[in-house]
Amino acid sequence: MPEIGSTNIVLPMKPLGVVFDMDGLLFDTEALYRDAMIQTAAALGHNMPVSLYLDTIGLSAEATRMLLRGRFGDAFDLAQFWERASAQFATMATTELRLKPGVVNLLDLLDGMGLPSAIATSSQHHDVQRNLDRHGLRDRFPTVVAFGDYDHGKPHPAPFLTAASRLGIAPQYCLALEDSHNGVRSASSAGMMTVMVPDLLPPTEEMKTLCVGIARCLHEVTTALNGRRT
């Protein structure tokens, strides 16, 4: 069972491709979404505890809507909430959207190894491209699987299975990188070698069972891949 923080993540084989989550894995967006949603809920007269936000991480938009409706009731104006929370996030992201440590180094290594990469996310395509463009990474991810590209969102395996199909690589030969519990469940059930790089959610015993490794940051993933060059 992998331990968090181990610099000795051992991949069972050299992957033929790598599939990245986006929010909380490539970009430090989860804290921004958290603050935007909590502030918006308060402005609408509702209390959103941090624990409720954490329950939404890795879920599809529809699953998140169902969760919020269950908490705040059918009268809760979800359309207004999403519009205002999205606007608040966009304002914060203009100056606060940051790459997670180790992203560029890992992408450079993948290029050097000739390994293709993809994104599998619950976010909308326009959000993915906005984030990539702000850090000049659009060309680094020619394959993007986002909301609308699959029938079932995470924790269902469909997002990662779709990414593997578009890469033309069998799922068991793909390395999946995730920060959320639902994302790990999705990638693992797709049959991928899964490494969790925790962001706001700590690894649980379930996560350790589903993953081949749990890393403190993407630099540790780079180290593990370097050990699997052949």
Asked, for residue 6, whether it belongs to a domain, the answer is no
Please provide the distance, in angstroms rounded to a whole number, between the alpha carbons at the two ends of the chain. Answer: 24
Whole-prediction pTM: 0.87
Asked, for residue 12, whether it belongs to a domain, the answer is no
Instruction: Give CA–CA dist 61/158, Å, rounded.
Output: 15
Residue ranges making up the domain that contains 59: 30-96
Q: Are 72 and 186 members of one domain? A: no
Q: Considering 74, 96, 118, which residue would you say is the last residue of a domain?
A: 96
Q: Are 86 and 121 members of one domain? A: no
Residue 23 annotated among the catalytic residues of the structure: yes
Instruction: Give CA–CA dist 33/39, Å, rounded.
Output: 10
pLDDT digits (tens, 9 = 90+) for 172-188: 999 999 999 999 999 99
Query: Distance between alpha carbon 184 and the CA centroid of its chain, in Å?
Result: 9
Which of 200, 34, 54, 60 lies closest to 121, judged by CA? 60
Confirm if 28 and 98 have CB atoms less than 8 A apart.
yes
Average pLDDT over residues 15-32: 95
Q: Are 108 and 88 members of one domain? A: no
Q: Considering 41, 71, 96, which residue would you say is the last residue of a domain?
A: 96
Q: Are 108 and 57 members of one domain? A: no
pLDDT digits (tens, 9 = 90+) for 185-202: 999 999 999 999 999 999
Q: Are 210 and 154 members of one domain? A: yes
Residue 60 confidence class, pLDDT cut points 50, 70, 90: confident
* CATH number where 34 lies: 1.10.150
Phi then psi dihedrals of residue 119, to 5 deg:
-110, 135
Neighbours of 71 (CB within 10 A): 15
Instruction: Give CA–CA dist 182/44, Å, rounded.
Output: 28
Residue 21 annotated among the catalytic residues of the structure: yes
Q: Are 90 and 42 members of one domain? A: yes
Asked, for residue 166, whether it belongs to a domain, the answer is yes
The runs of H, that is alpha helices, within 44-193 are: 50-56, 61-72, 78-96, 103-113, 125-134, 158-167, 181-189
* CATH number where 114 lies: 3.40.50.1000
In the chain, what's the furthest Cα-to-Cα distance? 57
Q: Considering 57, 77, 96, which residue would you say is the last residue of a domain?
A: 96
What local confidence, expressed as pLDDT, does residue 8 receive? 60
Asked, for residue 211, whether it belongs to a domain, the answer is yes
Q: Are 24 and 132 members of one domain? A: yes
Neighbours of 113 (CB within 10 A): 14
Asked, for residue 11, whether it belongs to a domain, the answer is no
Q: Are 84 and 102 members of one domain? A: no
Total domain count for the chain? 2
Which of 152, 154, 158, 153 lies closest to 171, judged by CA? 158
